[in-house]
């Protein structure tokens, strides 16, 4: 029983930050039809920016609670600076190309961002320990968990509900849905599609950076963090079905629980358990759990 | 067939002879770079074969790893040292191990095919990292190979491995060209355009795609075995997704029209990587990324489109 609870809590914690990152990825794919490998780089930028901002808060000797605000501001700063530059300055030139070619464009961007990150922050690791101790420890059964982990779960629920509400209950959300279904018809109805693309991409970048910023206290922020995250996010959105919020949530839960199960029960399988799950899901549902089967065109 | 068989044969023979002659005057570092480029080019040739059917394999690193580990293990455990034999066995093992998955993978298209192949290669990576008997994450070394029963001296080992890589690259490119222009090769192209029509016309889409996958695995295995013999080392990174990304990089850079473009693109990638890491050690990935963006922006059909009349028609 104790082991099951541990697996559940570890899996939930892991799934929560992964969901935030994967939500951005699935949103960008849903609207722009781009499977963005550079999404992992935006996650890394969020983590680095959070390390810098939290460092400033510590230098100015502000109350530790401000470090949470600093992490949020770091994610916003990355989205405001990077998203328009990437979408307007690079991606728009490739719209309409084959989706695999677009994946390669973002792969090229990913390679560039790896070095740009190193040039700005160097190769040494950063540690953002202050926010991690803010919420103390929580005792469940005989196990002690860090309170900060539960903050991530709450954050993931809030972010997921906010994005769902924005897409399904607001005028802007309906505009985005119209563009997802048909950019041409949306454009003929007076919607500025390029603006929708830029804003959707901005939200995607923000979610990646937010995921990076709030996981920074749990990891050592160093070159290479983006590589693992992007493949995990791919696994989540592929399992759930590309472009689906519910799919991203279920996918993140499956990945989180599979990893936690492997860590506690079969550590030797930790490295590849997620990919086994991904392969199994694709074998049963070739287009993910929440993807509608498309009719084949003659 | 679109081209005369005699013309293709002469072109392949002359190309091989010219590259072998060129190798005699190249410095050692350039010989090694070209050997690696041709070995990796073989893996990318397999990706191009699949791309002609409209799917891109993001897990071809696994085929390269299977070929590489097979060659290294046969060398270490069974004392087989012949480079040609090791390359062929590497290729056949990769094809044999992936054949059971081919019917399954032939059902997938687009990004889902890419992601499933990526997942399988990452499963392979995880297993290799955790298998201590295969050296774990560090991998293991292998010694100097022989060719046709002859031991290789220090002066000639680089050139002979280069020659083996050139012969395999030219032979595979030649056979691939024949396959591309054959009925099944043309069915592969038709599948990319509209697979439902191919089925109505009596072609077997799944059979063709499965066969292509096995052929691509064979080429990947041969490439991996050659790369391992040139490097003298094997580790699980052969199967990591970033390695597969580089193979796809070469395939996109080359395009699907020309087999020569694939080997040329592989040499260009190795050259850009070598020079970037020598002259810009901290920014070589930046240089590589910018180079790739430039190619995709201005040559979306790849280098092969520069001289292929078919590509010009497609672009028009």
pLDDT at residue B308 above 80?
no
* Res B314: pLDDT: 55
Count residue pairs from A and B with Cβ separation < 8 A. 117
Q: From residue B203, how far is each of B103, B188, B199 by CA, in Å?
A: 16, 10, 5
Of B56, B108, B119, the CB nearest to A275: B119
- pTM for the full predicted model: 0.86
Helix residue spans in A90-170 (DSSP H):
99-121, 147-169
Q: Is B151 exposed, middle or buried (0-12, 13-18, 19+ CB in 10 A)?
A: exposed
Q: Do A109 and B289 touch (CB under 8 A)?
A: yes
CA distance between the termini of chain B: 24
The band of A62, judged by pLDDT with boundaries at 50, 70 and 90, is confident
- Segment B61-98, tens digit of pLDDT: 999 999 999 999 999 988 888 999 999 999 999 999 99
Question: What's the CA gap between A224 and A153, in Å, rounded?
Answer: 25
- Segment B165-207, tens digit of pLDDT: 999 999 999 999 999 989 888 998 898 888 888 888 888 888 9
Average pLDDT over residues B285-292: 86
- Segment B21-33, tens digit of pLDDT: 998 998 988 999 9
* Res B166: pLDDT: 94
Q: Do B112 and A287 touch (CB under 8 A)?
A: yes
Neighbouring-strand partners of residue B141? B233
Burial A63-76 (b: 16+ CB within 10 A, else e): eeebbbebbbbbbb
Instruction: Provide the token pair at B311.
Output: 């590509």
Q: Quick check: B276 and B290 in contact, CB under 8 A?
A: no
pLDDT at residue B14 above 90?
yes
Q: Do B290 and A108 touch (CB under 8 A)?
A: yes
The band of B40, judged by pLDDT with boundaries at 50, 70 and 90, is very high
Q: Do A115 and B282 touch (CB under 8 A)?
A: yes
Residues of chain B that touch chain A, judged by Cβ-Cβ distance less than 8 Å: 56, 104, 107-108, 110-112, 114-116, 118-120, 122-123, 125-127, 129-130, 194-197, 241-242, 245, 248-249, 252, 282-286, 288-290, 292-293, 296-297, 300
Residue B177 to chain A, least CA–CA distance (Å): 24
**Overall size of chain B counted in residues:** 316
Q: Is A97 exposed, middle or buried (0-12, 13-18, 19+ CB in 10 A)?
A: middle
Q: Do A103 and B107 touch (CB under 8 A)?
A: no
* Cα B215 off chain centre by: 11
Q: Do A112 and B289 touch (CB under 8 A)?
A: yes
Mutate to test the interface with A, among B115, B124, B133 (most CBs of A within 10 A): B115
The 10 Å Cβ neighbour count of residue A168 is 11
The 10 Å Cβ neighbour count of residue B10 is 11
Of B110, B196, B282, the CB nearest to A118: B282
- Segment A109-133, tens digit of pLDDT: 999 999 999 999 988 999 888 888 8
Q: Where are the domains of chain A?
A: 19-226
Q: Compute the mean pLDDT over every residue in chain A, rounded to the nearest whole number.
A: 89
Among B63-77, B102-116, B224-238, whose mean pLDDT is lowest? B102-116
The band of A295, judged by pLDDT with boundaries at 50, 70 and 90, is low
Q: Quick check: A201 and A42 in contact, CB under 8 A?
A: no
Q: Quick check: A176 and A10 in contact, CB under 8 A?
A: no
* Res A294: pLDDT: 61
pLDDT at residue B12 above 60?
yes
Mutate to test the interface with A, among B136, B191, B289, B295 (most CBs of A within 10 A): B289
pLDDT at residue A269 above 90?
no
Residue B293 to chain A, least CA–CA distance (Å): 6
The fraction of chain B above a pLDDT of 70, given in percent, is 97
* Res A296: pLDDT: 57
Q: In B, which residues are within 8 Å of A287 by CB distance?
A: 112
Residue A122: closest C-alpha in chain B = B282
Residue A283: closest C-alpha in chain B = B104
pLDDT at residue B156 above 70?
yes
pLDDT at residue A2 above 90?
no
Q: Do B116 and A116 touch (CB under 8 A)?
A: no
CA dihedral A180, A183, A189, A190 (to 10 degrees): 100
Q: CA B98, B99, B105, B109 torsion: positive or negative?
A: positive
pLDDT at residue B310 above 80?
no
């Amino acid at each position: 029983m104790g082991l099951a609870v541990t697996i559940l809590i570890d899996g939930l914690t892991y799934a929560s930050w992964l969901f935030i990152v994967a939500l951005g990825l699935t949103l960008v794919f849903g609207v722009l039809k781009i499977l963005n490998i550079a999404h992992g780089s935006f996650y890394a930028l969020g983590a680095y920016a959070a390390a810098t901002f939290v460092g400033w808060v510590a230098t100015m000797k502000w109350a530790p609670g401000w470090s949470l605000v600093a992490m949020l501001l770091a994610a916003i700063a990355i989205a405001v600076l990077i998203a328009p530059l990437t979408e307007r300055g690079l991606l728009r030139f490739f719209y309409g190309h084959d989706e695999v070619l677009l994946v390669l464009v973002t792969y090229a961007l990913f390679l560039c961002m790896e070095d740009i990150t190193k040039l700005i922050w160097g190769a040494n690791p950063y540690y953002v320990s202050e926010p991690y101790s803010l919420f103390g420890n929580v005792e469940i059964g005989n196990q002690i968990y860090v309170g900060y982990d539960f903050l991530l779960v709450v954050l993931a629920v809030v972010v997921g509900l906010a994005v769902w509400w924005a897409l399904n209950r607001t005028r802007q959300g309906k505009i985005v849905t119209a563009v997802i279904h048909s950019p041409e018809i949306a454009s003929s109805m007076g919607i500025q599609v390029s603006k929708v693309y830029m804003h959707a991409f901005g939200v995607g970048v923000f979610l990646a950076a937010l995921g990076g910023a709030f996981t920074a206290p749990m990891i050592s922020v160093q070159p290479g963090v983006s590589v693992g995250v992007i493949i995990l996010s791919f696994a989540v959105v592929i399992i759930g079905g590309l472009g689906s919020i519910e799919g991203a949530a279920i996918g993140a839960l499956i990945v989180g629980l599979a990893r936690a199960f492997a860590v506690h029960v079969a550590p030797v399988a930790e490295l590849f358990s997620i990919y086994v799950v991904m392969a199994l899901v694709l074998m049963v549902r070739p287009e993910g759990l929440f993807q509608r089967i498309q009719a084949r065109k003659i | 067939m679109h081209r005369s068989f005699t013309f293709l044969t002469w072109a392949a023979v002359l190309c091989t002879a010219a590259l072998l002659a060129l190798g005699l005057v190249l410095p050692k570092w350039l010989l090694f770079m070209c050997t690696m480029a041709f070995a990796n080019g073989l893996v990318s040739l397999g990706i191009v074969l699949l791309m002609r059917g409209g799917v891109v394999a993001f897990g071809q690193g696994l085929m390269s790893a299977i070929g590489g580990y097979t060659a290294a293990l046969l060398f270490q455990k069974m004392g087989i040292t012949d480079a040609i034999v090791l390359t062929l066995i590497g290729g056949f093992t990769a094809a044999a191990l992936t054949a059971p998955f081919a019917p399954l993978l032939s059902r997938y298209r687009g990004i889902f095919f890419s992601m499933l192949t990526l997942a399988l290669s990452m499963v392979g990576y995880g297993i290799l990292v955790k298998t201590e008997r295969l050296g774990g994450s560090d991998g293991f070394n292998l010694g100097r190979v022989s060719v046709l029963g002859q031991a290789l001296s220090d002066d000639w080992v680089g050139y002979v491995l280069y020659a083996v890589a050139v012969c395999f690259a030219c032979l595979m490119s030649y056979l691939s060209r024949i396959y591309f222009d054959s009925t099944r090769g043309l069915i592969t192209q038709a599948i990319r355009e509209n697979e439902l029509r191919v089925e109505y016309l009596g072609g077997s889409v799944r059979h063709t795609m499965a066969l292509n996958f096995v052929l691509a695995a064979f080429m990947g295995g041969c490439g991996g075995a050659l790369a391992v013999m040139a490097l003298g080392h094997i580790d699980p990174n052969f199967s990591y997704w970033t390695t597969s990304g580089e193979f796809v990089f070469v395939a996109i850079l080359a395009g699907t029209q020309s087999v020569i473009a694939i080997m040329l693109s592989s040499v260009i990638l190795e050259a850009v990587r070598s020079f970037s890491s020598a002259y810009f050690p901290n920014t070589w990935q930046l240089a590589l990324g910018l180079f790739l963006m430039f190619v995709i922006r201005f040559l979306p059909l790849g280098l092969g489109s520069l001289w292929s009349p078919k590509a010009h028609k497609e672009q028009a």
